[in-house]
Amino acid sequence: MPYVDQMVAKILILNGPNLNLLGLREPEIYGRETLDDIRAMLEGEARALKLAIDFRQTNSEGELVDWIQGARQGVAGLILNAGAYTHTSIAVLDALKALKLPIIEVHLSNVYRRESFRHVSYVSQAATGVIAGLGSNGYLLALQALARLIDRT
């Protein structure tokens, strides 16, 4: 069960297309951990940081945009691994630009060591910071960074 407490800051963690296949899809690139493994790790870290998390995954661009738009209320920060939409979705970028909160873009692999089309990120244009190439630890570092960013505001 996700860690949620109304008295603490809530972090929204959104995952885009194909991330539901983590552990199965190209484990030599993305690792053997599943999305549920990452969620469990983050729930433990959120408790330690006294944060609440809302962790979601979708293969639908429209649903991802709806979730981002919904983050305008009740959310202190956003961690986003938009998957392939990182490189293709102006709709995701436009939704992110409407947010007035810290956004950390996360990629499991180092996108700059991969195909050239992965070097372009629309998400980065709205992100406070980017973490790539550190596997699931990137999510952990993003959560820790948001805790610090929120504490400063």
Active site residues: 30, 107
Strands 10-15 and 77-81: parallel
CB count in 10 Å sphere of residue 50 = 12
Which stretches of 1-152 are DSSP H helices?
27-30, 35-49, 61-70, 90-97, 137-152
Handedness of CA 37, 106, 23, 84 (dihedral sign): positive
